[in-house]
Protein backbone atom coordinates (compact mmCIF):
# COMPACT_ATOMS: atom_id res chain seq x y z
CA UNK A 1 0.00 0.00 0.00
CA UNK A 2 2.71 2.51 0.96
CA UNK A 3 4.63 1.63 -2.22
CA UNK A 4 1.65 2.68 -4.33
CA UNK A 5 1.20 5.86 -2.28
CA UNK A 6 4.86 6.82 -2.72
CA UNK A 7 4.65 6.27 -6.48
CA UNK A 8 1.38 8.20 -6.75
CA UNK A 9 2.81 11.13 -4.77
CA UNK A 10 5.83 11.34 -7.08
CA UNK A 11 3.61 11.09 -10.18
CA UNK A 12 1.37 13.89 -8.90
CA UNK A 13 4.29 16.17 -8.05
CA UNK A 14 6.46 15.30 -11.06
CA UNK A 15 9.66 15.30 -9.02
CA UNK A 16 10.07 14.90 -5.26
CA UNK A 17 13.01 15.04 -2.90
CA UNK A 18 13.77 12.19 -0.52
CA UNK A 19 13.45 14.65 2.37
CA UNK A 20 9.95 15.76 1.29
CA UNK A 21 8.82 12.16 0.86
CA UNK A 22 10.15 11.20 4.30
CA UNK A 23 8.38 14.16 5.93
CA UNK A 24 5.11 13.59 4.08
CA UNK A 25 4.92 9.86 4.87
CA UNK A 26 6.44 10.07 8.37
CA UNK A 27 9.34 7.73 7.70
CA UNK A 28 13.13 7.87 7.55
CA UNK A 29 14.97 8.87 4.39
CA UNK A 30 16.60 5.42 4.36
CA UNK A 31 13.13 3.88 4.44
CA UNK A 32 12.11 5.98 1.43
CA UNK A 33 15.22 4.82 -0.46
CA UNK A 34 14.55 1.17 0.35
CA UNK A 35 10.92 1.29 -0.71
CA UNK A 36 11.54 3.25 -3.89
CA UNK A 37 14.27 0.81 -4.94
CA UNK A 38 11.37 -1.52 -5.85
CA UNK A 39 9.99 1.05 -8.34
CA UNK A 40 13.47 1.86 -9.65
CA UNK A 41 14.09 -1.83 -10.44
CA UNK A 42 10.71 -1.98 -12.22
CA UNK A 43 11.63 1.07 -14.31
CA UNK A 44 8.83 3.28 -12.97
CA UNK A 45 10.94 5.76 -10.97
CA UNK A 46 14.26 7.52 -11.62
CA UNK A 47 16.76 8.56 -8.92
CA UNK A 48 18.93 11.69 -9.08
CA UNK A 49 21.87 12.16 -6.68
CA UNK A 50 23.02 15.76 -6.25
CA UNK A 51 26.22 16.91 -4.59
CA UNK A 52 28.34 13.79 -4.96
CA UNK A 53 31.34 15.60 -6.39
CA UNK A 54 33.78 13.28 -8.09
CA UNK A 55 33.40 10.42 -5.60
CA UNK A 56 32.61 7.04 -7.07
CA UNK A 57 30.30 6.32 -4.13
CA UNK A 58 27.41 8.70 -3.51
CA UNK A 59 26.23 7.46 -0.14
CA UNK A 60 26.67 10.99 1.20
CA UNK A 61 24.85 12.83 -1.58
CA UNK A 62 23.65 16.25 -0.43
CA UNK A 63 20.24 15.74 -1.95
CA UNK A 64 18.30 12.88 -3.55
CA UNK A 65 15.37 13.41 -5.92
CA UNK A 66 12.92 10.94 -7.45
CA UNK A 67 10.98 11.39 -10.69
CA UNK A 68 8.33 9.21 -12.31
CA UNK A 69 9.16 7.85 -15.75
CA UNK A 70 7.04 7.63 -18.87
CA UNK A 71 6.64 4.30 -20.66
CA UNK A 72 9.37 5.13 -23.21
CA UNK A 73 12.00 6.31 -20.68
CA UNK A 74 14.80 4.27 -19.13
CA UNK A 75 15.39 4.08 -15.40
CA UNK A 76 18.90 5.32 -14.65
CA UNK A 77 20.48 6.90 -11.59
CA UNK A 78 21.73 10.38 -12.40
CA UNK A 79 24.76 11.67 -10.48
CA UNK A 80 25.44 15.42 -10.44
- pLDDT tens digits for range 11-66: 999 999 999 999 999 999 999 999 999 999 999 999 988 876 655 555 566 789 99
Topology adopted by domain 2-79 = Arc Repressor Mutant, subunit A (1.10.10)
* Residue among 49, 57, 42, 55 nearest 3 (CA): 42
Three-state secondary structure of 3-69:
HHHHHHHHHHHCEEEHHHHHHHHCCCHHHHHHHHHHHHHCCCEEEEEECCCCCCCCCCCCEEEEEEC
Judged by DSSP in three states, 1 sits in coil
> Could you state, in order of their start, the residue ranges of all structural domains in the chain?
2-79
pTM (predicted TM-score): 0.80
Amino acid sequence: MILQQLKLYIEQHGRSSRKDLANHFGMSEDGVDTMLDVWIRKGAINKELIGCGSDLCCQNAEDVWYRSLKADELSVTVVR
